Structures are given as structure tokens and as C-alpha cells.
Amino acid sequence: MTAARRPLIAGNWKMNGLTADGLALARSLAAAPEGVAELLVCPPATLLAPVASALSGSRVALGGQDCHAEEAGAHTGDISAGMLADAGCSHVITGHSERRANHGETDAVVRAKAAAAHRAGLVAIVCVGETEAERDAGEAEAVVAASLLGSLPAGARPGNTVVAYEPVWAIGTGRTPTVDDVVAVHAALRAALGDRGEAMRILYGGSVKPDNAAALLAPYDVDGALVGGASLSAADFLAIAGAA
């Protein structure tokens, strides 16, 4: 990791939390002292307003979990990147494997969403990852590199985009790839980025916990973590941040 690539620890709360839970968690995080890593939380859309208020003036940034590619229109149940920005967000996750698997999002869809995020002034966290079958076939590095290039809009650059590598088979399963596997994929992603590679932050996501964070975050090419379940505990999330 270079000095320009400050580590980012991003918490994806997924579909978890009611107002009381979200406020309690946000207040605990807001009280965290300064540290090396940037902190970001991405709560459900229903919690954006109260969490934004609870985090006001703290070191913790706010992000959305998804956005629509269009700025407005007849898209019931969706939320635009501009709406996220209006709610106080600085980031949005695009192309999470659960969106790709459960909602059929292709690289082209993810690319359009990331472009919408950029137009709204948000940092897009563009997620890519391989299935277990693809890894077993020895295709992991090629699959994620191709998916990344297909998911990045033309204007993607280090200042408006973060990449997150999340092996699909490791998310929420308690299983993680070896550190060597993570290093190999991150190196392939950085190479695929070409001239942007050295400055672009690449996070690892997939069953990151306090007990494995230090090993996963230590390599040069790993610039932080996209944390799922462990981000629902302030103590666990901050412990992961402390390992960065």
C-alpha cells in the first residue's frame, strides 16, 4: 500500500437493523478515536437519515448499498445516486455479489450504476468476485479482471472509484481464501487497471473478522476491507479497522 492509498474499512450492514439498532451502532462508531484507516458504513436506506445524524461530525462516512442507473423516474422501490447524496452519502456500493446473484445484475448494469454514482458526486465501490466453480477451474484471476473492466465506466479513476474483491463463495460462509490467493487476485486486478492501478484502492471482502483481519490486510495490494456481518458489531468493526 502506498501513502496515497489510505486504507478504507467499509461496513455493509445489508438488510439488517431497525432505527434503534442502527442508532446505537452508529453512535458507538461515531465515538471512535482517530486512526489510520478511513471508516465507512452502508446501512439500509431506511436508516440513512438517522445514521447520518448520529455520525455527523465524526470520522465515519456514510454510504448506500445500491443505486439506480437513472436519476429519477418510474422505478418503484429504487433509489437514485442523487437521493443518496442528498441523504448525506459520500459512497455507494455497486455490483455486490448478492445484487449480481439475486437481481441478475450484469457487468453492464453495474457499469451504468457506477457512472450514475459518479454523476452524483459519489465514490462508487465496484465489486467483483468469482464463484467456487470458477476458482476450482483456475479461472479466478481472469474472471475477476474481465468483470472489473466490464463494470468500470469510462470516467472511473482513483478519486471516484474503489474496487472491492469479494470471492462469492466466501461471503457470509465463514470461509476465506488464503492470503496468497487474495494477493494473486488483487495483483491481477491492479494490472488490469493499467495506468490507474497503482493509485486505485482495492479492498478485500468475504468473511473478514477481527481474528483474520491483520493477515488479510497486511499485503501491499490490499487497501482495506468490505466487511459484512462483522460490521454489525462496533467492537468487531473497529478491531478490523485497527488491524489496517
Give the catalytic positions in this structure: 96, 166
For the chain, first and last CA: distance in Å? 11
227: cell is: 466487511
Relative orientation angle of helices 210-217 and 179-192, to the nearest 10 degrees: 50
Q: Rounded to an integer, what distance in angstroms lies between the CA atom of residue 241 and that of residue 244?
A: 5
Q: Rounded to an integer, what distance in angstroms lies between the CA atom of residue 212 and that of residue 34?
A: 22
Hey, how many other C-beta atoms are within 10 angstroms of the C-beta on 96? 28
Residues present in the chain in total: 244
- Block residue for cell numbers 429519477: 72
Relative orientation angle of helices 48-55 and 19-30, to the nearest 10 degrees: 20
